Chain A
């Protein structure tokens, strides 16, 4: 019967198509570099001009995402799972966008190191990128730090000078973040495909123009200089109530996405 043959042919075609392995999305790599352009003298909400001389942060596992929430059956996830299935810690409950790229590993970001030095390699698929997530880490012996480096065992270290009314106060701030603390939603607007010739720059942005807030907001360096020696030191080990409060304020701001930025940098720039 002709219509039975047609039905069998259609069924065979359906099975043939249905059994084809899924098309792998083109996967490509781009360098992830430290971008120092965001570093500049800024002014906090209490009128202190902040000039940084050191800004180092230990992080791990960058995730490059596209807008929207992760749904387990969504196309980008299926595509990405074909190439890097390890990207998803909490499928279905992830609010940071859909992961379509990553740079796995531990990284020590030094915004006062060699200009645009390469942190690592990001593995990506074609897409409209909107944000980046990463996890705060702790600096360790594998970071090629000297044995007496004050960053060892900590997440971040900032140093610089806070100036106001002609007075300069040198400061050092050491920060510890919980090792599972992921920062989600760092801006990264870029259209990227396998022909893109660019690197991805990771910036520290002490002053967030959009939110008009400063990484050092709430820190009254003059008040914190309790012994008036012109130096302020904040750390997780601070015990003085004023210092603890100041550390908490900085720690909270440090862990928001307002003060980081990712940008696609053309190769010829």
Chain B
């Protein structure tokens, strides 16, 4: 016998549900959340030329992200997990771990992206440029705009969605940025076909818009700024991002 039936539990205020579930004492009342990371088709299959405003097609050989502290409903996956988002997943993403939670709707999700390693190439006409970049500034994403619904005996999903296209936006602030690769291709100053970090350091951002605070004048700093905006949840859900140690 339990103190609360499922219907009673569902009728309780949200805040009272975890306590009620504890009082209930039956494991069948709990649910789980499977956390995954997904880079969408843009990372698994590439960004097609007709999507990029200047006609470059972008392909990723590897897109490794290290994610830690995935938190949903106050429960946290402590271990950092590195996944390669280029691995085909049929839309499922790469699993990061699983959390046990009481039934309820959880809105206080967060996570940290520790590191992003991007290797790939871009092609336009008969020109090919390769790149291999590492962004190791940890970014904590919180106050994410999603609700994770946990149901008794069922596995919910919480998806850390990585938007690869943000890295190629021409503005850090516009709501309608262009998706460009040509300025990065032009930064290959030694013409060896590889766009290196040092070359990006030496290249002015040109017409790119670094935002109201300014202070970003070279393309590497611009890419670093864009890399701080990659993390989303459950597709298009936004989060607040902040640098952390």
Task: Find out whether the CB atom of B174 lies under 8 angstroms from the CB atom of A258.
Answer: no
A180 touches B145 (CB 8 A): no
Q: Specify which chain A residues have a CB less than 8 angstroms from the CB of B204 in the assembled complex.
A: 245, 248-249
Cβ-defined contact, A252 with B214, below 8 A: yes
Q: A69-B240, A258-B214 are in contact. Are A180 and B207 (CB under 8 A)?
A: no
Contact check, A181 vs B173: say whether CB atoms are below 8 A apart.
yes
**Given A69-B240, A92-B145, A248-B206, A181:B213 Cβ within 8 A:** no
- Inside 8 A of A252's CB, which chain B residues have their CB? 205, 209-210, 214, 217
Q: Judge whether B207 and A251 touch: CB under 8 Å.
A: yes
A93 touches B207 (CB 8 A): no
Scoring A183, A253, A256 by chain B CB atoms within 10 A of each residue's CB, the highest score goes to A256
- Cβ contacts under 8 Å, A93 to chain B: 145, 238, 240
CB distance from B228 to the nearest CB of A (A): 12
| B201-245 Cβ-contact flags toward A at 8 Å (1 or 0) | 000111101111110010000000000000000000010100000
Nearest neighbor of B174 in chain A, beta-carbon distance: A178
Whether A117 is near chain B, meaning CB under 8 Å from some CB there, is no
Within 8 Å of chain B (Cβ to Cβ): is A126? no
Chain B interface size band reads 20 to 34
B171 partner residues in chain A, CB cutoff 8 A: 178
Residues of chain A within 8 A (CB-CB) of B207 are 248, 251
Closest to A93 in B: B238
The 8 A CB mask of B147-188 against A (1 = contact, 0 = none) is 000000000000000000000000101111000000000000
Main secondary structure of the interface of B (DSSP, over half): loop
- Asked if residues B206 and A255 are in contact (CB atoms below 8 Å), the reply is no
> Does A185 lie at the interface of the complex (its beta carbon under 8 Å from any beta carbon of B)?
yes
Q: List residues of chain A with CB within 8 A of the CB of B238.
A: 92-93
A235-269: CB near B (< 8 Å → 1, else 0) gives 00000000011001101110111100000000000
B170 closest partner in A (C-beta):
A178
B177 nearest in chain A by CB position? A178
A175 proximal to B (CB < 8 A): no
Complex: A253 Cα to B205 Cα, angstroms: 12
A87 to B236 alpha-carbon distance, docked (Å): 23
B143 within 8 Å of A (CB atoms): yes
**Distance of B37 from chain A, by nearest CB (Å):** 21
Asked if B206 contacts A256 (CB within 8 A), the reply is: no
Q: Is the CB of A185 within 8 A of B214?
A: no
Contact of A185 among B143, B212, B240 (CB under 8 A): B212
CA of A95 to CA of B204, assembled, Å? 26
Nearest CB on B from A207, distance (A): 15
**For residue A182, which residues in chain B have a CB less than 8 angstroms away from its CB?**
173, 212
A245 and B145 form a contact (CB under 8 A): no
Report if A180-B213 is in contact (Cβ < 8 Å); known contacts: A69-B240, A93-B238: no
Complex CA–CA separation, A119 to B75 (angstroms): 52
**Interface of B with A (CB < 8 Å)?**
143, 145, 171, 173-176, 204-207, 209-214, 217, 238, 240
Known contacts A93-B240, A253-B214; 18 additional CB pairs below 8 A are: A92-B145, A93-B145, A95-B240, A180-B175, A184-B212, A185-B213, A245-B204, A245-B206, A248-B204, A248-B206, A249-B204, A252-B205, A252-B209, A252-B214, A252-B217, A255-B209, A256-B211, A258-B214
Q: List 26 A-B contacts (CB under 8 A).
A: A69-B240, A71-B143, A92-B143, A92-B238, A93-B145, A93-B238, A93-B240, A95-B240, A180-B174, A180-B175, A180-B176, A182-B212, A185-B213, A245-B204, A248-B204, A248-B205, A249-B204, A252-B217, A255-B209, A255-B212, A255-B214, A256-B211, A256-B212, A256-B213, A256-B214, A257-B212
